[in-house]
Amino acid sequence: MGYRLSKIYTKTGDTGETGLADGRRVAKDHPRVEAMGELDLLNSQLGLLLADLAEHEGMWPGLTEIIEVLTPCQHRLFDLGGELAMPDYQALQDDEVERLEQAIDRWNEELGPLQNFILPGGSRLIAQAHVCRALARNAERRCQTLNASEPLRAVGMAYINRLSDLLFVAGRLIARRQHINEVLWQAAAKPEA
């Protein structure tokens, strides 16, 4: 990818449109731009999670593996955003989906089966992993909306779906490695008859 920004502001978006890398101009609320924006938001929050994990890595060495698995995800999210910005560009490959699946399987084996619904919380790291998971689901919905009118590559759709699963499991694994109990959902009391 040889395209680099030489100027940050262009004033071409002041009228509510933005340019795609293929030269098309679309409204800033076009489903493609919405999907790109959700991927960007997820990538930013994932960056925050990775920074927080790195700060606590010395305290809980078990976090290193989580950092190693999640770090490439930022780059792949950027690739996926590139595919949305340049519809002819294809960066994401099936082996990236497989990499996420292998990590999910490995981590789930350590965690064992989920016995209850869990809530985001217990520590900032756990909660941030769940923020990222929720944002991955938002990004997936935006991509599905776009896919309904402008078909996307299946690998991108699979990647974002698997990433949300990975982030859910990562939140659980962070709790385990921090030796923090997960916050279990407690159903509301049933009214007495």
CATH of the domain at 124: 1.20.1200.10
Asked if residue 5 is part of any domain, the answer here is no
pLDDT at 27: 66
**Which pLDDT tens digit goes with each residue over 39-83?**
999 999 999 999 999 999 888 889 999 999 999 999 999 999 999
Rounded CA separation 34/165 (Å) = 22
**Phi and psi (nearest 5°) for 17?**
-120, 160
Q: Is residue 188 included in any domain, yes or no?
A: no
Q: What is the pLDDT of residues 142-193, one digit of tens each?
A: 999 999 999 999 999 999 999 999 999 999 999 999 999 998 898 899 888 7
CA dihedral 167, 172, 176, 182 (to 10 degrees): 140
Q: How many domains does the chain have?
A: 1
Decide: pTM greater than 0.85: yes
| Res. 1: pLDDT tops 50 | no
| Residue 52 falls inside a structural domain | yes
Q: Which domain holds residue 151?
A: 23-105+117-180
SS3 content of the chain, % helix, strand, coil (to 5): 60, 5, 35
Q: What pLDDT is attached to residue 162?
A: 98
CB 8 within 8 A of CB 18: no
The answer to whether position 61 is within a domain reads yes
